[in-house]
Amino acid sequence: MSFFKKIFGGEKEQTKAPKPQGNKPEKVTLFVNTGNPTPITKSKFPFGRYTDRNKTNAQRAKWKEAVNLFNQKNYLASHTELMEYIKDNEINNLKYSVSGDTLSFEFIQGSNIIKGTSNKDKFEAISNIAKMDTPSVPVMNKLMRMNLMLKYSKFALKDNTICMKFSSYLVDASPNKIYYGLQELARKADQQDDLLISEFSSIKEIEEETTISTDALKQATQIKYIRQWISETMQEINRLDKNSFSGGIAFLLLNLTYKIDYLIKPQGVLMNSLDKIHNIFFAKNEETTQQKNTKIIDVFNEIVTWDDAKLKEGLYDTISTYSLVNPKDHKGVMDTIFKEIKKADWYVTNGYPKIVDSIYEYAVSYAFFTYGMHYPTMHIFDLVMNIYNPSFYDEMGIKTNYVDNQGNLKREAVLSKIHHVVSASKQEFPKIDFRVRNLKFDNKRTFYHSLMTEADYLNYN
């Protein structure tokens, strides 16, 4: 392999197919609402990032057909079926056409458009990231270093445009390789455009109409709550001893991080700051929790110095084709939830209610940040986020009324939501049910525990 090929991209096959994961069968006798509710969304949630783990049975059939056609060396037909597997009709993320022996396609990943073709010679895809009028040695060095970390795709420079490319000869262009190659290209291109522009003054933005503007009133609400949540969290931290309460402070900071990520869904530099916080805390190094907390507080202190204009730069919506996180089976998600809930016991016993609530909310917001989950679980977890943040949902135009003015849960509204989620999911998951009779409505905490206990039994087989 030549030096330049080593730097600008080698290819390694990944054999694991993107198949759904389910939990083991569970014996439950549950009650759900009957009737014909309107379908619930699998992709279009009011908050949170996109997940591509909720493929339909029809899409899974397309995947199998793509594999069969590839094995028969019918490459064009195989790639056409693969487009049907990747396409998400709820969000209109991908379009393609076939003319003669050529398949042309394009899809959206955040602020980037990925375009490509499959013809009688090879499969190719490209995403333009940014412009660089004058070649820059620091920029090229950074791109070369990133190329060493890539398996399928590569950064390149074409006519003063920084782009990412992925290609494969047809004989090697299996559905697995194409799927994961496009995934790597899409994720990395979407991540790097804003970061490169913010890091290097010589790099300019490429004007591509892929983002969805958020109206000024909602942006103002988002900025208000970003500042409010940070302020409230720092006030609570300042009441605690930094040494003896380093664990509780960590939960306050992490909940703040993942709550902003889920409810605000920021892009660009603000999103990168949240990723930085995540990496600080979970880095495997010799730093103590207190030292990590100090670094995370510094990041939030920097964010609050930003003016509204800088915050607004990351407040827009996008369409994505690939999730930023990988699928997780339901039992694995719930095991993580219960592991985190257990850590609240000491704070419950010793009377630290704000830390307790942060741990409970953190368990759910962390799951959104980390895992690709089944859509009924996502809807139920969104119910939790709504109950813990009713004023934000209300001001963002989502009038659900799960909590009254005194902070008490509205039993009928909550039950109606759960009934709707479970009933509308029956066609996709015939064994799904929920024992609503076991839910407790004394207060938010007892409800949270009872909800998670029953959610653990959701059957996705």
User: Closest Cα partner for 125 from 4, 272, 9?
Assistant: 9
Secondary structure of residue 269 in the 3-state scheme = helix
What's the pLDDT at 181? 97
Label residue 99 exposed, middle or buried (CB < 10 Å: 0-12, 13-18, 19+).
Answer: exposed
pLDDT tens-place string over residues 149-192: 999 999 998 888 889 999 999 999 999 999 999 999 999 988 88
What type of residue sits at position 262? Answer: Y
pLDDT tens-place string over residues 111-140: 889 999 999 999 999 999 888 877 788 888
Taking a C-beta distance cutoff of 8 angstroms, is the pair 236, 249 a contact? no
Spatial distance between the Cα atoms of 344 and 341, rounded to a whole number of angstroms: 6
Helices 289-303 and 216-238 pack at an angle, to 10 degrees, of: 140
Q: Which residues contact 142 (CB under 8 A, 6 or more apart)?
A: 196, 199
Q: How far is CA 140 from CA 149, 151, 181, 185, 201, in A?
A: 15, 19, 22, 18, 14
Where is average pLDDT lowest: 3-12, 167-176, 362-371?
Answer: 3-12
Domains, the chain, with CATH or none: 54-205 (3.30.1460.10), 214-455 (no CATH)
Spatial distance between the Cα atoms of 25 and 336, rounded to a whole number of angstroms: 19
Spatial distance between the Cα atoms of 246 and 281, rounded to a whole number of angstroms: 12
pLDDT tens-place string over residues 193-215: 777 777 787 777 776 666 777 88
What's the pLDDT at 209? 60
Taking a C-beta distance cutoff of 8 angstroms, is the pair 24, 164 a contact? no
Secondary structure of residue 146 in the 3-state scheme = helix
Count CB neighbours of 101 within 10 A. Answer: 11
> Model's pTM, two decimal places?
0.84
pLDDT tens-place string over residues 415-444: 999 999 999 999 899 999 999 999 999 999
131 is written with which tokens?
């412009």
Q: How confident is the model at residue 19 (pLDDT cuts 50, 70, 90)?
A: very low
The fraction of the chain above a pLDDT of 90, given in percent, is 70
Task: Give residue 415's Cα distance to chain centre.
Answer: 27
